[in-house]
Amino acid sequence: MVRVTLDNVSKFFGKVKAVVDLNLEIRDGEFVALLGPSGCGKTTTLLMVAGIYKPTRGRILFDDEDVTDLPPKDRNIGMVFQSYALYPHMTVYDNIAFPLKLKKVPRQEIDRKVKEVAKLLQIDELLDRKPAQLSGGQRQRVALGRALVKEPDVLLLDEPLSNLDAKLRILMRAEIKRLQKELGITTIYVTHDQVEAMSMADKIAVMNKGRLQQYADPQTLYNKPANLFVAGFIGSPPMNLVEGNIVEENGTYYFVSSSFKYRLPSGVGELIASETSSVILGVRPEDIKIVLGDGDDNVISGTVYVVEPLGRDLLVNVKVGETLFKILAPADLKLEPGQSILLAPNEKRIHLFDRKTGRAVI
């Protein structure tokens, strides 16, 4: 097992800047997810760690060894591709044995290891089949087996679950996480699915347009997004974001948008006003309480636009002037479209972002 360090890594394809000045340290045995929308550079990053792409600038280190110029075969990595990339002309057994054959491992040992991995992944019944005769889930396991059989120092997974159906995906999510903890292999996992990243990874690196946005554990990412992009990308339904200004009236600070006015907690207002007055307010759907009738004085009044029952709770769409809020409410709440209600955001859980830079100010 190794520690993987990306030191100022950039990759350009002609004029396209796929990855720009990426700094990342993945500790020994850690499970790190690279998360971002398609085209954000996450797969490029993975292929650079694998040695398939050579960084345009910067260095990649395994422990303290510079592997930037090392070809993939000398890096001792295992990789699972989105398409699984099983060799169609080989049986499952040969697919899994292939990396060991290349290493010139003795035949008996290959046999033992292949069977061991097959058993671990519950594919020991399939060893004689060709990839074309397998289901998506089985192929995925074979690909995983091929990556694990050579006991790699680093395991790279490129959207391994995206070709599976929803049910199987949830199952394999837990399975891969357990396997990773059991084997303790340093793992980099690329995904565009924030739920996958949140549920599996020890740490998540959120990327956008080739740049690292935030690198933190899932809870920090959710509770303290570093910027607007992370705030909007993490969480489902996404965070409510409203543009507005900080205004001072008689020593009290308010957030004022085109459709409502909201009093900021004391202390917070001063802090922000000292930096900027043009901000974006962010509140997660579960951090707004719906108040029927009279509430306290610091509320926003709106009308119910549409109610989406999600089973466990309700997703209420509320119109406040021109702004649409999405709010998670208890399932037993009775609401009708057009009904006037009051919204009470949780003061402690509001986010404010600088409108110019997008950076979080609190």
How far is 120 from 176, CA to CA, in rounded Å? 11
Among 52, 174, 306, 333, the residue binding other proteins under the rule CB under 8 A is 52
3-state class (DSSP) for residue 222? helix
166 binds other proteins (CB under 8 A): no
How far is 79 from 296, CA to CA, in rounded Å? 56
Among 91, 163, 220, 317, the residue binding other proteins under the rule CB under 8 A is 163
Q: Which tokens in the block code for residue 19?
A: 């990855």
Residues that contact other proteins, how many (by CB under 8 A): 36
12 binds other proteins (CB under 8 A): no
13 binds other proteins (CB under 8 A): no
How far is 245 from 268, CA to CA, in rounded Å? 14
Window 66 to 85, contacts with other proteins (CB under 8 A): 71-73, 77-79, 81-85
How far is 262 from 298, CA to CA, in rounded Å? 7
102 binds other proteins (CB under 8 A): yes
Q: How far is CA 329 from CA 125, 291, 324, in A?
A: 48, 10, 15
Sheet with 154-158, strands from edge to edge, namely: 77-80, 154-158, 186-191, 31-35, 203-208, 211-216
Q: Which stretch binds other proteins (CB under 8 A): 127-135, 201-209, 225-233, 276-284?
A: 127-135
Among 47, 114, 221, 327, the residue binding other proteins under the rule CB under 8 A is 47
- In whole angstroms, the minimum distance from the beta carbon of 54 to other proteins comes to 13
- In whole angstroms, the minimum distance from the beta carbon of 326 to other proteins comes to 33
In sequence order, the 6+-apart residues with CB closer than 8 A to the CB of 347 are: 265, 298
Toward other proteins, which CB reaches closer, 172 or 204?
Answer: 172
- The answer, yes or no, to whether the previous bond of 237 is cis (omega within 30 of 0) is yes
Among 5, 44, 45, 140, the residue binding other proteins under the rule CB under 8 A is 140
Residues that bind other proteins (CB under 8 A): 47, 50-52, 71-73, 77-79, 81-89, 98-99, 102-103, 131-132, 134-137, 139-140, 146, 150, 156, 163-164
